[in-house]
Structure 1
């Protein structure tokens, strides 16, 4: 494409060395004094080190997830955001604006901690909370900075601030990560030399955590000082996006034109059709806003290509409607889950954008960028409100999902035997636990095995938390006591000793273990079976004693959904069922057609 067609900026627009020095000096004079930066980083580092140690030593607030998440959120967020946007002339106003926002984020962290304190799927929950908090922080600091300095809130100023803050944040994370890696490298090198003093110092939380906060604080200071480089980086990225946007619009229009001939069935067969369409809308909006951010004064393309892109923006509501159909179809079949609620939320936000843009195109055509700017400013506040509410009781996706799944059971859409107890215990946190306790009180007499299985699912969660905690603090998990049937005396004593000493057998921790002595082939001699329960996944072995020791073979084991092995073992009479077909033996070649549902191994070909 020619320069005239894309209207790319000239290279001589770059700043010269004299202006660079002046801008660096001016930016440094605007920032708060370095002494204040050092004090802020020191307080932040010491506090985070104490919070880290409280988890290691199991003292408050490390023993209370509600307070722990709230305090960690505050002492990571408030100092970092303050250093990112505060200047000499407005730091007092920034503190007044940031403080209530940081307290609000910390309160939401406390709510998340309370919801997950007893039965957490903590990794995914903290990831969602962290991501939502990052988005909220990036949105909030732009508005706080403009309001404190009594500047007009328009899209161009928000755009410049968002790109600059994003670049500074990313390079600060990279710099701090490299710094952390160097500390670990130093500890390893001193360890090789046998100098334990420096090794222990570099690995001590009281040293490396304050060191990281100092590194992060002064990297923010440095990168703010050369903020013009962040602007140049964003300009380079926007220039690259100018080439990519026409390609993306071409794919978008081409895909839509082929849909009437192919239909939607192929799209739904992927089981990720709505997800892909939402990504297409997201990328289109991101590219368009990265390029068209200066209102009607911005003419990045030739008018022919501009009209082509205009068409691509105008058809985005069609993709929004198709993706909604796909999401609602899954909801109608299987009810709400946190993933589907996230999909609906993302769809709603993206649809507000594309419908606002479509309204601007219909009303103003080529001048639609006037409405685009207004839509972006308003939707920025909507996104900020959403990422805050989604971590609050107002939009608790796990509570909504738990209510939806139980409603399907009460309405008869799913039977008690098919209710996914594992999903409630592993994915729905405290709301799932409350729903299961209510269900237990209703089915205690009618379905005692289901009640036992509910209790067992939550024991799995507790055991998983206990093992993970012990692993983090360097402790070994206590051995799990095996359950014997019919009793321990019937099980071979030599095999008990062998299993206790077998490192391979004990290398993988299990939730429960069952040891059965039962005569399977009716030869008046009991076979020894071991069945291990790995959080709901069962593995079985049959053991035989040879001249060289004990050997084992894997056995097929099928536990139907919502069946409890321990309950069945205690309350059900064991039955031995003859296989309907004899096993065919051809000089060592065995043909067994009894389990027709067993997976047939495939021969690999070169």
Structure 2
């Protein structure tokens, strides 16, 4: 028999708890609105101070959720003390997340180096949310029963109640917003756009969302029978998947002695797949065991499946650790591999405890089947909190460990200077990656040739001034020589050739843009069309290089090549392509004059479906925007 940890309220809509939850939701919405407004371009204080903005963002998005749950579970004083402790921890971890950001200086050749990105912290939020969920369950149960290790029945009830509440709240908020958007669509049928504009404003969307969450949490909190019924149904349903998964896992493990492990390692995702299988096995075993009451699992097949599955966890985790070790030995640590190592440690704790539970348990048909599983679940909850804290602090920071590993591989000769992953150092290494790149600009080693040293210095310098991973990856691709470039570009009309100075200009331009174009092997198609955009004027070059738009290049008064325009959405029907290949392109004046609006030149394009049988699109030569003043 389970213990009800909720406090039912016979009049939920008139209770002080409901009013308190609504006030918490409004305060949360106000705080998030101010933070979002501060982060909107151009950012204002406190968004300009990562060590302040990130803690505030994490506190305002997470602590009110704890308050929404706790206000119906704990009395005022314990709740305030728990919220204060959680706020201090979240603030400290948020400050560290802001401190580790790579504050790259503006370089001489790139005075507009982009500032550190401080908004993309979904991973941090998720890790903090998981940790707070576990800690909240432990705190609520410990305070309620007045001891460090409460009964397993209470742990089970509290944890699964909060899990079901979270799931139902997410569904409720999603359907709530679906209803709003459907309503906006209905009003738009009548040409009334006010409702659509209203729900798109942050000052409406944020309080609407937080109030919907508070309502969902309150309704599910004051209806314990609803939660218990949904939980029992879900766990009973999922428990029937346990025998199926155990048969699959046993078949997989049983086939390993007769087959080579090479196909498993060659998948490059074996560690993740094995860990996911082990995690699902743990989940289904707990769905079957539930709160340990004998009447929960009377079906012997599911009990046997739980015992066999608990024993199968150990080889699954061992294989995952083996696969991870092989990858680390080959390529060193990365943030993803550090995360996988932490998950492996956590699941290893479960595996060890579950094996002990099986070995110390009586026959699966006995009343105390897998009883020691309860101790394992309680202890591993604390282990999970320790591992999460390690991930979110310098102790096991994935970025720090990755940089240390990659720099050690460089200095040991395991990776050459030209092959060092400066992209990972720049965008995954946080402040340690920045410091490593700044040091690599002067790094020397007697084992390296002059060419290798120069390549390392150039790659490190390039990495420090690029604002996106895409730009850096494009800039690090080595361009082919002018002779190779000339041989890879097909020039039309046939028999013509491109000037060597144009090839050099085109290659340098694409490298600066981080694209490469035809200067990178494998890109294409690479076709050049020599045309004249003015009757009797100099020749211009249209470059079809596989990027959708076709840039046009012309010589200036100093005989230097420059990109002067772009043809967008070119209709590549056979007639147009054949004419361009013959050089049959005649300059004509525009059908409509251009419009100059607030300093912006607008082109009026006629609706011309010249290519029959193909999609009609607008084709135009766009003048590049004027240079910034």
- The two structures have a TM-score, normalised by structure 1, of 0.72
Q: Of the candidates 51, 71, 84, which is equivalent to residue 56 of structure 2?
A: 71
Which residue of structure 1 aligns with residue 79 of structure 2? 94
Tell me, yes or no, if structure 1 residue 170 matches structure 2 residue 154: no
Q: Of the candidates 128, 135, 157, which is equivalent to residue 154 of structure 2?
A: 157
Which residue of structure 1 aligns with residue 475 of structure 2? none
Distance in 2, Cα, partners of 1:225 & 1:131: 27
Tell me, yes or no, if structure 1 residue 458 matches structure 2 residue 464: yes
SS in 2 for 1:461: coil
Q: Of the candidates 26, 30, 48, which is equivalent to residue 42 of structure 1?
A: 26
Number of residue pairs aligned between Structure 1 and Structure 2: 485
Which residue of structure 2 aligns with residue 388 of structure 1? 389
Which residue of structure 1 aligns with residue 626 of structure 2? none
Which residue of structure 1 aligns with residue 137 of structure 2? 142
Which residue of structure 2 aligns with residue 493 of structure 1? none
Cα deviation, residue 35, structure 1: 2.7
1:442–1:178: structure 2 CA closer, same or farther, 3 Å change rule? same
Distance in 2, Cα, partners of 1:525 & 1:437: 34
Distance in 2, Cα, partners of 1:243 & 1:92: 43
SS in 2 for 1:348: helix
Stretches of structure 1 lacking an aligned partner (at least 5 in a row): 1-12, 14-21, 466-519, 558-587, 589-606
Distance in 2, Cα, partners of 1:41 & 1:555: 53
Contact 2:288 2:306 in 1 (8 A): no
Cα deviation, residue 427, structure 1: 1.8
SS in 2 for 1:451: helix
1:216–1:302: structure 2 CA closer, same or farther, 3 Å change rule? closer
Any residues of structure 2 matched to 1:112-261 within 5 Å, and which? 112-116=97-101, 118=103, 126-151=121-146, 153-183=150-180, 200-261=197-258
Tell me, yes or no, if structure 1 residue 361 matches structure 2 residue 373: no
Contact 2:24 2:67 in 1 (8 A): no
Contact 1:317 1:355 in 2 (8 A): yes
Distance in 1, Cα, partners of 2:157 & 2:385: 18
Contact 1:40 1:79 in 2 (8 A): yes
Distance in 1, Cα, partners of 2:226 & 2:122: 31
Cα deviation, residue 103, structure 1: 2.3
1:354–1:178: structure 2 CA closer, same or farther, 3 Å change rule? same
Root-mean-square deviation (Å): 3.5
Distance in 2, Cα, partners of 1:392 & 1:370: 35
Q: Which moved more, 1:154-163 or 1:176-185?
A: 176-185
Tell me, yes or no, if structure 1 residue 529 matches structure 2 residue 506: yes
1:238–1:123: structure 2 CA closer, same or farther, 3 Å change rule? farther
Tell me, yes or no, if structure 1 residue 58 matches structure 2 residue 43: yes
Cα deviation, residue 124, structure 1: 10
Larger helix proportion of the pair: 1
Cα deviation, residue 201, structure 1: 4.2
Distance in 2, Cα, partners of 1:318 & 1:525: 63
Distance in 2, Cα, partners of 1:330 & 1:124: 31
Q: Which moved more, 1:80-89 or 1:347-356?
A: 80-89
Which residue of structure 2 aligns with residue 429 of structure 1? 430
Cα deviation, residue 437, structure 1: 1.3
Cα deviation, residue 161, structure 1: 1.4
Distance in 2, Cα, partners of 1:118 & 1:144: 38
Distance in 2, Cα, partners of 1:211 & 1:534: 46
Distance in 2, Cα, partners of 1:321 & 1:222: 44
Which residue of structure 2 aligns with residue 330 of structure 1? 327
Any residues of structure 2 matched to 1:342-491 within 5 Å, and which? 342-366=339-363, 367=368, 369-443=370-444, 447-461=453-467
Which residue of structure 2 aligns with residue 517 of structure 1? none
Cα deviation, residue 65, structure 1: 2.3
SS in 1 for 2:516: strand
- The two structures have a TM-score, normalised by structure 2, of 0.69
Contact 2:50 2:98 in 1 (8 A): yes
1:214–1:308: structure 2 CA closer, same or farther, 3 Å change rule? closer
Cα deviation, residue 147, structure 1: 2.4
1:116–1:187: structure 2 CA closer, same or farther, 3 Å change rule? farther
SS in 2 for 1:33: helix
1:464–1:458: structure 2 CA closer, same or farther, 3 Å change rule? farther
Cα deviation, residue 23, structure 1: 9.0
